[in-house]
Amino acid sequence: MKRTILALLLITTLCFSFACERRNGGSGTNAVDSGGEIVVGYYGDLTGRTASFGQSTRNGVEMAIDEINKAGGINGRKVRVIVEDDQGEPNKAATVVSKLVNQDKVHAVLGEVASSNSLAAAPKAQEARIPMISPSSTNPNVTQVGDYIFRVCFIDPFQGDVMAKFAANNLKAKRAAILYDFNSDYSRGLREFFTRSFKGLGGEIVAEQSYTQGDRDFSSQLTQIRAANPDVIYVPGYYGEVGVIANQSKQLGIKAPLLGGDGWDSPQLWQLGGASLNGNYISNHYSVDDPSPAIKKFVADYTMRFNISPDALAALGYDSMRVLADAIQRAGGTDSAKLRDAIAQTKNFVGVTGSITIDKDRNAVKPAVVLKLQDQKFVYDTTIYPEGMTPPASSGASPAAGYPSPPAAASPASTAASPAPTRAASQPTNR
């Protein structure tokens, strides 16, 4: 018995001695660029409840990196990515980012999709002074964590406001009902800002119902909404439920159009909802009608490589990596303070999800477009600009405003070409 104890103590001490490292007492010194390859860390939910989101984003990131490397790398340096799975849990997100910045010593971090995970992990990146770019977290708090945290998507307040304006001004709706995902920070955020704006424009919220991601039956909520007789129904949820909601609402005989956000954007949506989706509207990052060759190339390449058409998350993942690469190039290296400044100075970067400018709050300023769903396509309807952004001279007539679009060779792109949902997903309460 005594021998076993001794042996155990010896083993533990050995473990510790191998594991330890020198400390020089200073806290978080800035990572200095040492040349060599550029290491980027990516974290997301690859095996958990929202695995499809994390996997899509990762695919976008990987494709961007491959393209960059094929073109010779950034300033001649190749890029390598370390992919980590956080299983969709905020606790694990913090652990893996801590590993990426402290253990693997990455130069920058990309992630996460869900705001809750981003919020848990961002402090680790901030503390280690490593820039982090979130492709699709939309909660305003994420970038408030610190000056090293950025995002390339728009935030909830803007998107909710966009749809409210559209409903009130374009559709002339006075009565709106809301059906939102209770568990999802993204859905709740959109609901809050839609409500605020819609009421501010003189509208009335006549019914409000909620569901949980993973719910299979919405008929009782929809029946109650039907009884309130709204002009429009705002459903700021994800395509998995929205497809079914559209279906069930038609089966209940509801005539009011459904309005939504970029969470609807996925080829799966049509499979789930089919013809019942016709006549609804969503706000999104840009229009599929956009004939921009860059977008078509992205879609074609992605489809060929992954055997599935890209959804909005993949496109945002792709753009986040490209924004990072562009910043590294401008900064001349991966020195973290210089890199942070370079990212902050991103202006009118042409991504597949629109023209990206980073504002003083480290959020992306992009106009939003409203698209109408018709016959398995998202058809461009109108563009709504954020406050302080002036529309170009040819006001509103062109799709995908905000960045130069080639002459309208309008061949209708497939549905798959619509990218960019801003996700701040949460987990269902299935267990």
Binding of residue 21 to another protein (CB under 8 A): yes
* Residues 260 and 281: beta-carbon distance below 8 Å: yes
Smallest separation, CB 285 to another protein (Å): 21
Rounded Cα distance between 71 and 63, Å, is 12
Q: Which of residues 132-171 bind another protein (CB under 8 A)?
A: 139, 141
Q: Residue 338 CB: number of other CB atoms within 10 A? A: 17
For helices 90-98 and 115-127, the axis angle rounded to 10 degrees is: 30
β-strand partners of 351: 354
Stretch that binds another protein, among 239-247, 299-307, 371-379, 395-403 (CB under 8 A): 239-247
Candidates 57, 59, 143, 248; binder of another protein (CB under 8 A) is 248
Q: Mask: binding to another protein, 97-136, rule CB under 8 A, as x and -?
A: -xx--xx-----------xx--xx--x-------------
Q: How many other C-beta atoms can be found within 10 angstroms of the C-beta atom of residue 220?
A: 10
Nearer to another protein among residue 246 and residue 413 (C-beta): 246
Q: Which member of 57, 59, 159, 183 binds another protein (CB under 8 A)?
A: 183
Q: Is 265 a residue that touches another protein (CB under 8 A)?
A: no
Q: Which residues are within 8 A (CB) of 132 and not within 5 positions of it... i.e. 6 or more apart? A: 97, 108, 109, 110, 111, 121, 122, 125, 126, 148, 149, 150
- Report the nearest approach of another protein to the CB of residue 382 (Å): 28
Q: Tell me 419's DSSP state.
A: -
Q: Which residue has tokens 């970067």?
A: 349
Is 290 a binding residue for another protein by CB under 8 A? The answer is no
Q: Which window, 64-72, 243-251, 327-335, 378-386, contacts another protein (CB under 8 A)?
A: 243-251
One of 240, 291, 351, 367 touching another protein (CB under 8 A): 240
In contact, 326 and 431? CB cutoff 8 Å:
no
Chain residues 53-92 in contact with another protein, contact rule CB under 8 A:
55, 84-85, 87-92
251 binds another protein (CB under 8 A): yes
**13 touches another protein by CB under 8 A:** no
The answer to whether residue 414 forms part of the interface with another protein (CB under 8 A) is no
**Which position has the token pair 């094929």?**
70
Q: From residue 29, how far is each of 24, 129, 333 by CA, in Å?
A: 10, 8, 17
**Smaller CB separation from another protein, 60 or 399:** 60
Least gap, CB of 341 to another protein (angstroms): 24
- Check if the beta carbon of residue 309 is closer than 8 Å to that of residue 299: yes
Neighbours of 387 (CB within 10 A): 7
Instruction: For residue 94, state whether it binds another protein (rule: CB under 8 A).
Output: yes
Of 220 and 395, which CB lies nearer to another protein in the complex structure?
220
Please, what is the minimum distance in Å from the beta carbon of residue 251 to another protein? 4
Structure token pair of residue 5 = 């104890």
What are residue 82's phi and psi, to 5 degrees? -110, 120
- Name which of residues 33 to 52 contact another protein (CB under 8 A): 46-52
